A = this chain, B = another copy of it.
Amino acid sequence: MAGQTNGTSHVGRSTPRLEAWAKLTGRAEYVHTLRLPGMLHGKVVRSTVAHGRIVRIDTTAARALTGVTRVLTAADVATVMANPHYGPAFHDQPVLAIEKVRHVGEPVALVLASDVHVAEEAARLVEVEYEELPAVFGEVEARTSTVAIVHDELKPAGFFPDLKHLQGGRNTNVALEFTLRRGDVETAFAAADHVFEHTFTMQQVLHLPFEPPVSVAEPGDRSVTIHTASQTPSFVRAEIARLLGWPENRVRVKVGHLGGSFGAKVYIKLEALVTAAALIVHRPVKISLTMEEQFYTVTKHAATLRIKSGVTRDGRITARACEVWWNGGAFAEIGPRVTQKSGFTAAGPYDIDHVWINSYQIYTNLPPAGALRGFGVSQLVWAYESHTDMIARRIGIDPLDFRRKNLLHEGRPQATGTLMRDAALSPVLERLAELMNWAQPFDRGSGTIRRGRGLAIGFKASIAPTTSVAMVTLHAGGSCTVACGTVDMGQGSDTAMAMIAAEVLGLPLVAIKVVHPDTDVTPYDMATLGSRSTYHMGNAVRRAAEDARDKVVAMAREVGLPDDSRIEDVFKKRYGMKAGTIVGMGQFIPTYAPTDHHTGQSPDVTPNWMIGATGAEIEVDTETGQVRVTRLVNVADAGTPLNPRAVETQIFGGALMQLGFTLFEEMQFDGGQVTNASLADYKIPGMLDVPATVVNETVEARERGGPFGAKGVGESGTFSVSPAVANALDDAVGVRLTSLPLTAEAVYRALRAQTR
């Protein structure tokens, strides 16, 4: 096989995305473009109240509309699913609302028609009468509310081993309470020279991929095929099989290209509803959400974060207590896991002996919140890195030096007890300082426009324990197919997996084809989320390719050819013609020891650490409060990047997304009703919002457990943007904001309050 390398070395070279041409020329297949014979379009009738009892659903007028095939309610769903409640953490989300609704926008009925516009028109004709119930919206209020209880009873799903300790319960809005205890914070606070306590909030925002969620279910012979824009085909298969009471192999889940996702398409979304509808009417059914409907489907947690630190006179943090209230909305979604996983790192990347963390996943009557690019980490970093700067300023130490003094070093135990390994915290911080010219004087301006700079650093644990399996098939002509369940949603995973297989097999990249997920044929993968794919699936693909390579060599020896023979020559000699298949399999499961849910401690909460730091230089217009980021520097530890250019764009994309959450994005509510549910009213970053200078870099690093030293980087760019900008704002004009977003209005009001 050595003879086949032809000097091809793929890993570490910037490589254009394999699907770029297909996307540019409009040939990429999306579920949105899929039409099946006899297919019906479904339009969802949604709740208009935040919490209420359904008194009556009148579908008469809708059914009477010409072209309407059927109008479904929960009673119809029950004919095909005995217990139609789904969810990865709790079985709390009904396929269509049963008796009660719990947030504005919750699906109550589904109209089916051959023409999507007829379905839309008919959906408006469905009349639903509600008896309103007391609603609760704020996460802190909801934790202790006894008036508004979102779910009468909590029913844990029991699917994930690390959510095994989820409690059932009644009369509570607390879905999960994560606790971590290390040392003795109270004694340490008492002994500290200074104690600081601040509270921060972050607003509810959402993913808004340009391709809204879409699913098609195609009923078969005692089977169903689901074409869906999903990050988690294996989970969809398992969950739909559970809902139907069928063996898993009767449910086939296929995923093509995704038009972005960022966590919007994890676990299960529309799949249960399209499946129920398709089985009821015995025809394919498609549901494509509109941009507006995304606002009612899944969001990023609003959160309230209280953080308290004990610090010595010379700037060592000795103790930290964090209390986090996560606003999970009406359904738990994957929120409990967000609460738990982010809880591991809530105290920040600092070496602190005494840590106390309480983190609550709270039900409210808002649209549900799930995972969004960072799994809760950007909320935490927002709090702890604002807090860090506030302390540094108060005790008169340069914020960079204060961080240097407290940063976790390689080999030290993090708050959970897990050791820091291959975690380039110091190199990332130092490289950021260098790129920011931190040691140089900085011109803060004068007159109306003032300038400031700020920095921040965050880290994240990866998801564990999870499994990835890959299959690498060699064809007689010498080309290769990589089958894996990783979903390429724009992050370039197809290209990365192809590069890994090509590298191992010594083949040119054009000889590799990556098959998109199809649960009938691609092996199991836990999910594409949490930046896990490069590390987990990358290792599985590497092993599968090595297995295939070993088999070619064995076959070459069997037929008397040298080890370095070309694949096609080995096949030809073995089979006498262009025939045969070699299949290599690879599996990867990092070691993992379950977390003790009393102490939150474990020696192995994560197989690796992701690190992202950001520096911002800003201009503030003191007359309007307008903040303009002029220079944004993002530095990450991605191990040794497989595809450097793709890594840079991931970091950049993450940072820009977070910049929108930092400066202006915010879901606005009135009695639980989103009042800005459109891209006209809810602004996301455009070309004019991109800072004039953006630097995206990785430090020289190596993740020893990763494929060719690599690890994931899809979220690292998001971690530190918000506090870096807030710290720069304080640096520029002495205004400290503790609530996101940092709108011109908020800055202006704070400037006015300052001068008063």
Contacts and interface: CB of A to CB of B under 8 A. Distances in A.
B515 A248 contact: no
Contacts of A483: 520-521
A442 interface: no
Interface string A465-484: 11101010101111111010
Given A250-B513, A587-B580, A475 B37 contact: no
A220 B521 CA distance: 20
A682 interface: no
B524 A221 contact: no
Interface stretch (A18-26, A95-103, A185-193): A18-26
Interface in A220-251: 220-223, 234, 238, 241, 247-250
Given A221-B19, A477-B238, A513-B249, A583 B580 contact: no
B524 A222 contact: no
A479 B248 contact: yes
B467 A580 contact: yes
A184 B42 CA distance: 78
B219 A579 contact: no
Given A22-B221, A523-B583, A248 B477 contact: yes
A579 B467 contact: yes
Given A33-B37, A249-B481, A576 B513 contact: no
Contacts of A526: 579
A82 interface: no
Interface residues of A, number: 65
A221 B25 contact: yes
Nearest to A234: B579
Q: State how many copies of this chain the complex holds.
A: 2
Contacts of A471: 583
Nearest to A35: B37
A719 to B, nearest CB: 28
B510 A247 contact: yes
Contact of A477 (B241, B520, B583): B241
B511 A515 contact: no
A576 B592 CA distance: 11
A478 B248 CA distance: 8
A161 B577 contact: yes
Contact of A589 (B473, B518, B575, B578): B575
A48 B656 CA distance: 66
A475 B27 contact: no
A475 B524 contact: yes
A38 B305 CA distance: 52
Contacts of A160: 577
A75 interface: no
A159 interface: yes
Nearest to A163: B577
B511 A521 contact: no
A475 to B, nearest CB: 5
A581 interface: yes
A575 B475 contact: no
A-B pairs with lowest CB-CB distance, top 7: A22-B221, A521-B521, A524-B581, A249-B479, A247-B479, A249-B513, A523-B581
Given A249-B513, A583-B583, 14 more contacts: A25-B221, A33-B37, A159-B577, A223-B513, A247-B479, A465-B576, A481-B521, A483-B520, A520-B521, A523-B581, A523-B583, A524-B581, A575-B589, A581-B587
